[in-house]
Structures are given as C-alpha cells and as structure tokens.
Structure 1
C-alpha cells in the first residue's frame, strides 16, 4: 500500500456553464468540481446533449476516449456520469457501475485505502477508511444521500486525511454497493447503519458529515447516537414536503391519503413515460427504496419530515452549510433547520454566496471553500 493522499486533488473554483439546462449542467459540473473531470471534456459533452439518451451516449464516448488515452481517473467518473441518468430498468446501469468501480480501484490501488465489508442486518454495508496523514485529531465519518457513491467523495476524504483526521466513508442502505450488490433498500432510521459503523470500527467520538439528502440522515442519526460529537450537514431540507408551496403540499398529501390508486396512476402517467428531472427522481426513488409503485416510493419524501428528523434531540455541535441559490433545496430550509436545533451544544450556519462560487447545491463550484469551512470549524470544536 502507498501513503494516504498519494493523489493530490485540485478543486476548481467556478460553476461552469456547460449546458443551458440545469438538469444537465449541474451533473456536468459535479465531477469537475470534485477534481475528477477535465474542463474541455465537460464542455464538449455539454454541446451534444439534449436528452437522457444523448447524455448516456456522450458520457460513454468521453469515458472510452479517456480510456484510450490512458486517463483512467477521468474515465472512471465519466462511466459514473453515464450511469447516473441511466434508468433503473436498463441492464447497462449495473454494467456502468461495475466499470466505474473497477477503474476507480485500479486508479487508486497504491493509495492507502482500506476497504471494509461490514455485516448489517443479514447483508453488508460498504466502508472505506483512510488514516490520517499526520497524527490524528480524531475521526470523520462521511456519507452521501439520494444518489451518490462513497467513492465520489474520495477527494474530500483525502483532504480531511491530509489535515490530520482519520476518515471513514460508508454507504448505507439504499446507497452504492450496499444497494446494488447487497440489496439493502433505503431506511430513514439512519442511526442503525451509523451505529453499525461505529461499532465495527470501535469509535467513540466522531464528526459525522452528511452530503445532500445525507444531511437529513446524519442529523436523524445524531439524535439517537451519543458517540457522534459534531455534525455537519450540507444541502438538505429539514422537511422535504415543505419544499413545495403550502397549498399544493396539503392537496398532495390529502390525495395520497384518500385516493392512492388514482395518484399512482397519475404518477405513472406523469413520471414513468417522460424524461426530465421529476421522472428521473421518481425512478431513482423507486430504485433506492425497492418499491414498485411511484406513490410508495414518494412516501419516503413524506416521511423525511420535521417530526422524523428529531432536531430537538440533537445535542451535538452542529454546522449547517447552505448554498444561497441551491436549485434543489429552497433557501427557507436553512433557517427552519437552525431554529429547530433547540438543544444542540452550538449551531453554526454558513451560507455561501454567488461571489464565492459556492452558491449551488452542496457547494458545487467551490468544494475547496466548503472543505476549508468544515476543517476550520472542526478544529475549533
């Protein structure tokens, strides 16, 4: 094994205009912002994409070109990008996932990455551990949310390691290999997989970081797991149904409760036979929850609410990171979450503005600044 952090990542500053539609532009910026993609490749792909089928074709083309040129890091994440908008019933989805994983571990085979398969409820969770590059200040545990693989956060993990933290990244139920290889559907009781990870690695005091929807999950886990001492959440909603206007939310919930058969039929007509963000999100929800009906999958959003997150039980130091112009999560969620943490030891809110290039979802556009903010806060607390 090599030394931790053998690969040094640079996080480019700036949210690029790769595509006119945010649906595609954000996902082109995503691997670029984490230091995995080339600017010219994303620009070239963006010019040729107008549909999900275009997306798959162009990202596959970029991946195969990168392989032919020996740029295996780029290739790995272009296969991942191709997988991202591939529908759950497409057999290529698992093929593309395997190509990504194989290339990722080929690229980083000399880095000091410990791979762990952790027993969990008759199946397994997947975890990666990177030791601190210098004497350890403590342990950071990190996970994603709705649509990420833990390997995507490797550049962030190496940054924490270089600053003196042992780092463990894991995939819980509904994520990555825990879903694809071991069949674990999403659970909102996130304290259960977190407890399993803390028990397995024999950890007592950790910082837990949740990315995107993982922010909701990590706060939920922190409400029930005292071994978590510090919590960082970025890009989440305290209550996902409150993302929509109040009147529409009430109508939607009433119809779900009183006319489920009709609502399932309408959801199928609206989402399952079309392209677009809403159609992709419902397909992804069905995939990670292992539900066959749209309404059953959408119920996860209903359950990810202000009551079930249990903010009032969180007693740790908390840092909430929010992009001022997050296109997924309304900005009003930031203050709602801060106000709900009534029993936390301390609550720090950090809003990233456009002039910082970090105003987007999960600070895509300036990951380096987000990392600096997290590390400074952890060092202080």
Structure 2
C-alpha cells in the first residue's frame, strides 16, 4: 500500500495504518488519526508520544463527560478510541522503559479499555489467569449471559501488541459470530512485562497450557471446539504451543512465522552459523559497533532493538538478536502440530515476508494457506487496514473447521 503519510519513515507509517485499521471495530476515527498524524514530526519519538497523548486525553475526557451524563454508548465508544490512542502514544518509548510517559500512557490505555468493557452488554470481563505463581491478565468475551458452552477462540498477540488491542483485531469479530473469546497477555507482552518484568520465552506451550486449564473452568467455553489464534509474532508462538499442547481443535497463525530468528538477523553480514556464533559469544565489540550503527541509520532497526531489549530482557542489541534465534518451529517442531491449521500471508509484509509459506510447507496436519493481496487493501503486515475482510475469511475458516467437531456434552 502506498504511504499516505510519513514518506521517509516506514515504521511511523505502519503504526499510523495500524490505528486506521482499528477503525473497523471502534478503535479509532479517521479524522482523529489523520489530524494527529499530521501534527507529528517525522522520526521524532517524543513528538509521536506528545501528539497521540493530546488526542487520547481529549477523547478520554469526552468519554468521562458522556458517562457522567448517562450516555453509555457514547462513553463506551470514546473510551475504546482513547485506549487505542494511549497505546499508540507509548509505542516508541521502549528504549527507556523507566520513562514515566511510557508507564502513564500504558496504564491509561488499560484504564480506558476497562471502562469501555463495563459498558458492553454483556460486559467484557477482565480475568486473571493463574500462571507460575502469578497471573496473566486477559479478557473474557461472552455472547450472552446464558452460560451455555460455545465454540471458543483463545487469542494472543505477538511482539508489541496488547490484550486490549485484540478487541479490534479479532475478539469482537468472534463475539459477533457467536464465539466465546478469551484474550490474554503472556510473558513479554505488556501486562506481565509492565507489572512484573516477565519477559518473552520461546517455549510458549508452557504459557498456553495454563491458559487452556483456565479456559476449561469456564462454562461458556466448549473445550472440544477451541481454537488458538496467534497474531504477528504470535504466528510462531501459537504454532510452537500447538506442537506440544494438543488440546486446541484448530490453529490460526495470523500471519505465519516459521523462523523468527533467521528473519530477524538475516540481513546481518556473514554466513548463518558464523553469525549465530558471534551473536551468542560472551563479547564481540566489532559486532556490537555494527549493530549500533544500524540503529543510528535505520529507524525500524532502532525501534526493533530497543523494544527487543525491553521485551526479551536483553542487555544489548546483540543479546536481543541471540534471543530471537530461539523463536522458531524448525527441527521437526512444526511437523508435530496435529490440529487443522490456517496460515495467513500478507503480500507486502515488510517484517515476515516468505515466512508463512515456509511454515505451511513444513506442516503435516490438515492445512490451509490464505493469501491476502495489495489489490484487496490487505497486503500489509497482519492485514492492517483490512480488518473486516481479514476477520471474515479467518472466522469463515474457523466456522467450517469447528463445525465438523462434536460440541461439548
């Protein structure tokens, strides 16, 4: 898709497109996004934060005013938009996690989303999922208050999304179609990372297992018709989990990732084995200097390394790259997946080009590859800008796949 804004900064443009995309399920308004983006100084992380914060503060104030006046629908809608704008405000601040603006904007995003959640019928319920001596934050979406088991989607995002943003990228779409939906943040994702410093782990089956245990206690969940959906980096995390945790009846990789490490470090100079050796070495000042130059020259690299150090718990860009190498479904892992699997692919994905096809090629389970094109307006990473189209195709596949499974007794 041609850039409409930020011609010299692909990362700023994609994050703006991401907010445009959330319009489809109530996470933004077109002119609010456009006028905010037009005020931002291209490439300036502080300007990005400040302008999104101005918009978020204004919209959240309107939400509170509507709520005080008894206008529940208006309040709900404004709280949803404000939540997304606060999320966007803190997006580029992760190079300094101690920056108070980072924490404040994140907390305001969660606060606004939870205020909106209370205004849905039925309400979207915040949940705390037991996990290794603590809990993972998430949300339970019910179709109604009847308590009957329904086909269920368990959904998580990836490298930089939030459980709250999942409302706009799949959760509400599922409820519209009669699904119970359970969303959550795992380690390395914002809730556990902000509150407890829990960083990413590659053995995602040890995250999904407790989530499935929790889901099994909910009367609205049909454990025989439960699908696992992973978005963005979740496109390798969820397949990794499904390779070792066989309770899900279906898997969606949106979009598919076979080897995050190879993709993330593939542009580094040198032969693969030698690059890996240098990344994992105790010290390599020359390589460190090269990565520092990359961060200085390339805004996408700068953000990826900054966020990676924060979310992976790595001290240096080189340590981040070494950590990335562990996120894959190589070495026979993909072949262990047994449930029907949908792999989505975006034609112009600047982050994971070629990865969905690799994942699909290594699957031995019943499988479907679903390609989204630029002509459809769906060619960007995770089909940003085409959420209604993407969700229609994904949930149609889920409908057809889970219909063949027997319902819970």
**TM-score in terms of structure 2 length:** 0.83
Q: Does 1:108 align with 2:117?
A: yes
CA distance in 2, matches of 1:216, 1:370: 19
Q: Tell me what 2:93 maps to.
A: 86
Q: Does 1:336 align with 2:343?
A: no
Shift of 1:179: 1.6
Shift of 1:67: 3.3
CA distance in 2, matches of 1:288, 1:98: 17
Q: Tell me what 1:19 maps to.
A: 6
Q: Where does the alignment leave 5 or more consecutive residues of structure 2 unmatched?
A: 64-77, 402-409
- 238-247 vs 29-38, which deviates more? 238-247
Post-superposition CA distance 1:113-135 (Å, at most 9, x none)? 12111221122211211113496
SS of aligned partner of 1:132: coil
Q: Does 1:363 align with 2:383?
A: yes
Q: Does 1:60 align with 2:53?
A: yes
**TM-score in terms of structure 1 length:** 0.88
Q: Tell me what 1:95 maps to.
A: 104
Alignment of 1:32-51 (within 5 A): 32-35=20-23, 36-47=27-38, 48-50=40-42, 51=44
Shift of 1:218: 0.3
Shift of 1:249: 5.4
SS of aligned partner of 1:150: coil
- 224-233 vs 291-300, which deviates more? 291-300
- 85-94 vs 165-174, which deviates more? 85-94
SS of aligned partner of 1:369: helix
Q: Does 1:234 align with 2:259?
A: no
Q: Tell me what 2:322 maps to.
A: 299
Q: Does 1:154 align with 2:154?
A: no
Post-superposition CA distance 1:241-284 (Å, at most 9, x none)? 43325964525324324573325632663367677111111111
Post-superposition CA distance 1:40-85 (Å, at most 9, x none)? 1222222233121221121112222323444433222111111111
Q: Residue 323 of structure 1: which of 346, 349, 353 is its match?
A: 346
- 128-137 vs 98-107, which deviates more? 128-137
Distance 1:193 1:110, change over 3 A: same
CA distance in 1, matches of 2:127, 2:379: 35
Distance 1:359 1:275, change over 3 A: closer
Aligned length: 365
Q: Given that residues 150 and 179 in structure 2 are in contact (C-alpha distance below 8 angstroms), is that contact kept between their aligned partners in structure 1? A: yes
CA distance in 2, matches of 1:240, 1:263: 24
Post-superposition CA distance 1:127-168 (Å, at most 9, x none)? 211113496541110000100111101132122012111110
SS of aligned partner of 2:184: strand
CA distance in 2, matches of 1:81, 1:334: 27
Q: Residue 200 of structure 1: which of 205, 209, 214 is its match?
A: 214
Shift of 1:17: 1.9
Q: Given that residues 141 and 169 in structure 1 are in contact (C-alpha distance below 8 angstroms), is that contact kept between their aligned partners in structure 2? A: yes
Shift of 1:96: 0.9
SS of aligned partner of 2:93: coil
Alignment of 1:120-139 (within 5 A): 120-133=131-144, 137-139=150-152
Q: Given that residues 141 and 209 in structure 1 are in contact (C-alpha distance below 8 angstroms), is that contact kept between their aligned partners in structure 2? A: yes
Shift of 1:355: 1.5
Shift of 1:296: 2.2
Q: Given that residues 264 and 293 in structure 1 are in contact (C-alpha distance below 8 angstroms), is that contact kept between their aligned partners in structure 2? A: no
Q: Given that residues 18 and 42 in structure 1 are in contact (C-alpha distance below 8 angstroms), is that contact kept between their aligned partners in structure 2? A: no
Q: Given that residues 255 and 263 in structure 1 are in contact (C-alpha distance below 8 angstroms), is that contact kept between their aligned partners in structure 2? A: no
Q: Tell me what 1:256 maps to.
A: 279
SS of aligned partner of 1:208: strand
CA distance in 2, matches of 1:349, 1:273: 37
CA distance in 1, matches of 2:17, 2:164: 17
Q: Tell me what 1:73 maps to.
A: 80
